[in-house]
Amino acid sequence: MNTKVVDPAIIEKANQWLQDSYDEDTRLAVQNMIQFDESELIESFYRDLEFGTGGLRGIMGTGTNRMNKYTVGTATQGLANYLLSSFPIENGISAAIAFDSRNKSQYFAQVAANILAANGIKVYLFENLRPTPELSYAVRKLKCKAGIVITASHNPKEYNGYKVYWDDGGQLVPPHDKNVITEVQKIKSVDDIKFTGGEDNIVMIGSEIDESYINKIKSLSLNPDIIKKHKDLNIVFTAIHGTGAVSVPPALKAFGFTNVNTVEEQMVPDGNFPTVISPNPEEKAAMSMALDKAREINADLILATDPDADRVGVGVKDNKGQYILLNGNQSASLLIYYLVTQWEKKGKLTGKEYIVKTIVTSELLKDIARSRNIDSFDVLTGFKYIAEIIRQHEGERVFIGGGEESYGYLVGDFVRDKDAVSSCCMLAETAAWAKEQGLTMYELLIDIYTQFGFYLEDLISVTKKGKSGAEEIKAMMDGYRSNPPESINGLHVLSVKDYQAQTETILLTGKKYPIELPKSDALQFILEGGSKITVRPSGTEPKIKFYFGVKGQLKNKDHFFEVNNAMRSNLEGMIDAMGLR
* pLDDT at residue number 103: 98
The CA-atom distances, in angstroms, between 375 and each of 337, 371, 397, 400 are 14, 10, 10, 10
Domain boundaries, the chain: 1-46, 52-205, 213-452, 455-577
* pLDDT at residue number 53: 67
Q: How far apart are CA 581 and CA 578, in angstroms?
A: 8
Going by their DSSP bridges, the two strands 353-358 and 398-404 should be labelled as: parallel
Strand-pair partners of 55: 52, 163
Q: Same CATH fold, 455-577 and 52-205?
A: no
The verdict on whether 212 is a catalytic residue reads no
The CA-atom distances, in angstroms, between 299 and each of 222, 242, 260, 407, 428 are 23, 22, 10, 21, 12
Q: How far apart are CA 536 and CA 523, in angstroms?
A: 6
Choice among 94, 101, 136, 153 that is catalytic: 153
Are 360 and 535 within 8 A, CB to CB? no
CATH architecture, domain 455-577: 2-Layer Sandwich (3.30)
Q: How far apart are CA 581 and CA 573, in angstroms?
A: 10
Of 357, 311, 340, 350, give the one whose Cα is nearest residue 400: 340
Give the three-state DSSP class for 127.
coil
Q: How far apart are CA 324 and CA 294, in angstroms?
A: 11
pLDDT tens per residue, the chain (581 residues)? 454 578 999 999 999 999 999 999 999 999 999 999 999 999 999 999 988 767 899 999 999 999 999 999 999 999 999 999 999 998 899 999 999 999 999 999 999 999 999 999 999 999 999 999 999 999 999 999 999 999 999 889 999 999 999 999 999 988 999 999 999 999 999 999 999 999 999 999 999 999 999 999 999 999 999 999 999 999 999 999 999 999 999 999 999 999 999 999 999 999 999 999 999 999 999 999 999 999 999 999 999 999 999 999 999 999 999 999 999 999 999 999 999 999 999 999 999 999 999 999 999 999 999 999 999 999 999 899 999 999 999 999 999 999 999 999 999 999 999 999 999 999 999 999 999 999 999 999 999 999 999 999 999 999 988 888 889 999 999 999 999 999 999 999 999 999 999 999 999 999 999 999 999 999 999 999 889 999 999 876 789 999 999 999 999 998 999 999 999 999 999 999 999 97
The CATH classification of domain 213-452, taken from the options 3.30.360.10, 3.40.120.10, 3.30.420.40, 3.90.600.10: 3.40.120.10
Q: Which CATH class is domain 52-205?
A: alpha beta
Q: Where are the beta strands (DSSP E) in 219-366?
A: 235-238, 260-262, 301-305, 312-317, 323-326, 353-358
